[in-house]
Amino acid sequence: MKHFNLEAALDSDVAPLLKVRDVAKSFGAVAAVRGVSFGLYGGEAHALVGENGAGKSTIVKMLAGVHQPDAGAITIDGADVTLGGPAEAQAAGIAVIYQEPTLFPDLSVAENIFMGRQPRSRFGRIDHAAMKAATKRLFDRLGVRIDPDRPARGLSIADQQLVEIAKALSTDARILVMDEPTAALSGVEVERLFAVARTLCGQGAAVLFISHRFDEVFSLCQRVTVMRDGVWVATEPVADLTVDTLVRYMVGRDVSALYPKEDVEPGDVVLEVDGLSRHGVFERVGFSVRHGEIVALAGLVGAGRSEVVRAVFGIDRYDDGEVRVNGKRLPNGSPRAAMAAGIALVPEDRRQQGLVMELSIERNATLTRLGTLTRLGMLTGHGERNAAGDWAERLRVKYERLSDAVSTLSGGNQQKVVLAKWLATAPTVLIVDEPTRGIDVGTKAEVHRLLSGLAAQGVAVVMVSSELPEVLGMADRVLVMHEGRITAELDRDDATEEAVMFAATGEEAVA
């Protein structure tokens, strides 16, 4: 495979394959993108990074033909193009892999890939056999085993993503845009995706890669364009950059500490979990959390951590054991009782469990307080609205109006609304499940500062996290789970990457 020669491309007079020139796009009063320019050369993998809400997805949607720029132009092969719709973008050789999979659940995997481009035989009829064979070849190339005939309904998120990738590969694209394609993929799958991307680059295609994972950006891409608040900040070769400079470009300031953990003297025990078991899911899980303490539940995905906290909060029932708050036993399977006792749970999947996407920001933020309202009997509706705005302000949620639907917000901002919703209940025990998954580095630091601040105020925090740096940076104590059991309990000083990983994989290496 011939390698893309960046210097040669930049020095030569060769026009970029695709050029975005001074594009701007506003939605109502919010200017999502202002005057952004960059170019993609054939053979180049180009990263587009920025915080949530920086305007990356808007750029993607302009390239996909979903949005049209208010100003500026998109150029392909030196000629201005108008991408009036997704079909026109496809015809122009642009393929997009979206952040959220966009499959048809009722149709077969093969049809999902070739929708609108099905191979045809005589009389324009769809050649189902050829379509299936082509799908198999695509999957072979990606090294995955998915039956082309099965319906897309029920595919795991990772498999859905792989189908999306196969779809993009099948479109004969010269420009491949990938909007956070790796969020749901395992390491092996990511490597395979990158291998395919590199092959495409070797064949002269350009790849625009959007990711929050810096290691991926550095391993795949030759150049990076950074955006902040809808504005272009920098386009530089990856070789000239360090993670620190990249982060500084993104947030516009030094992130002094991503993990601003305050030292707090823990108080009395608030939450006690004793011998909690659920058949086949988790077994004899016990731990306690004190006021002002942050306890992390670490482990591999599928170790049963989310299931435990769901059971503690009462969403799922447990078979055995008990949960106590301030010494008082909580009834099994009652989120209402858990909330009344002062527990709040910020779930892992914000789209499905954390938010009512169609409702407004203020409605979502105050949903949990309806109970509080009747319990205290003194908050007015007006007060609630103020509280919603107050929290949105404190968490720096970017929105146009509080009455806008949550679905219009970017991922990181949605996460903030979920947090606002639960923080508004003034909990004494806050359980957060993967609080920073899929959100950018600046928002991450804000979330961490917030958690730390809450602990300093005496809130007991239970944090489920798969990110080791986050676990090690934030937790006073680390509980490691493996296959439904707690395999290690480590104090802040004893918690090292090795110790946690050993326990998480079930190796008995903790002294």
Partner 1 sequence: MKTGTTPVAAGQQATPAAEPGAGNGRTRFAQRLWVVREIGIAAALGLLVLVTAIDSPGFLSAPSIRDVLLGASILVILAVGQTVVIVSRNIDLSVGSVLGLVAFATGKLFLAAPGTPIVLAILAGIGLGAVCGAINGVLVAAARVPALVITLGMLYVYRGVDHLWAKGQQINAADMPASFLSMGTSTLLGIPVLALIALAVVLVAGTYLHSYRSGRELYAIGSEPSAARLSGIPVGRRVFGAFVVCGGMAGLAGALYAARYGTIDATVGTGLELEVVAAAVVGGVAIFGGSGSVYGAALGALLLTTIGTSLAVLRIDPFWQQAVVGGLILAAIGLDRLLALRVANRLKGRSSHGA
CA angle, residues 426, 430, 431, in degrees to nearest 5: 150
Nearer to partner 1, 151 or 438 (CB): 151
Nearer to partner 1, 111 or 293 (CB): 111
Please check whether residue 181 is in contact with residue 164, taking contact to mean a CB–CB distance below 8 angstroms. Answer: yes
The nearest distance, CB 148 to partner 1, in angstroms, is 10
Q: Which two tokens stand for residue 500?
A: 């946690």
DSSP 8-state class, residue 115: T
Nearer to partner 1, 37 or 170 (CB): 170
Q: Which two tokens stand for residue 391?
A: 């929290």
Nearer to partner 1, 71 or 129 (CB): 129
Nearer to partner 1, 155 or 441 (CB): 155
Q: How far is CA 319 from CA 210, 226, 482, in A?
A: 44, 50, 19
Instruction: List Cβ neighbours of 313 (8 Å cut-off, separation of 6 or more).
Output: 335, 338, 343, 345, 431
What are the backbone dihedrals phi and psi of residue 90, each rounded to the nearest 5 degrees, phi first? Answer: -60, -45
The nearest distance, CB 34 to partner 1, in angstroms, is 25
Nearer to partner 1, 40 or 475 (CB): 40
Nearer to partner 1, 221 or 294 (CB): 221
Nearer to partner 1, 100 or 272 (CB): 100
The nearest distance, CB 79 to partner 1, in angstroms, is 19
The nearest distance, CB 154 to partner 1, in angstroms, is 4
The nearest distance, CB 486 to partner 1, in angstroms, is 26
- Report d(CA 436, CA 452) in Å as an integer: 14
- Report d(CA 226, CA 216) in Å as an integer: 15
- Report d(CA 367, CA 136) in Å as an integer: 47
C-alpha gyration radius of the chain: 25
The nearest distance, CB 15 to partner 1, in angstroms, is 18
* Element at 261 (helix H, strand E): none
Instruction: List Cβ neighbours of 35 (8 Å cut-off, separation of 6 or more).
Output: 22, 23, 24, 72, 231, 232
Instruction: List Cβ neighbours of 437 (8 Å cut-off, separation of 6 or more).
Output: 183, 348, 466
- Report d(CA 218, CA 375) in Å as an integer: 52
Nearer to partner 1, 49 or 113 (CB): 113
Distance in Å from the first CA to the final CA of the chain:
48
Task: Tell me if residue 386 falls in helix, strand or coil.
Answer: helix
The nearest distance, CB 163 to partner 1, in angstroms, is 9
Please check whether residue 35 is in contact with residue 230, taking contact to mean a CB–CB distance below 8 angstroms. Answer: no
The nearest distance, CB 311 to partner 1, in angstroms, is 21
- How many helices, marked H, and strands, marked E, lie in the chain? 18, 20
The nearest distance, CB 137 to partner 1, in angstroms, is 5
- CA dihedral of residues 477, 480, 485, 489 (deg, nearest 10): -40
Nearer to partner 1, 119 or 286 (CB): 119
Binding region for partner 1 (CB under 8 A): 64-66, 85-90, 96, 98, 102-107, 111, 114-121, 124-134, 136-139, 141, 144-147, 149-151, 153-156, 158-159, 162, 169-174, 176, 200, 203-205
The nearest distance, CB 92 to partner 1, in angstroms, is 11
Nearest Cα to Cα of residue 237 among 13, 21, 7, 37: 7
- Report d(CA 225, CA 234) in Å as an integer: 6
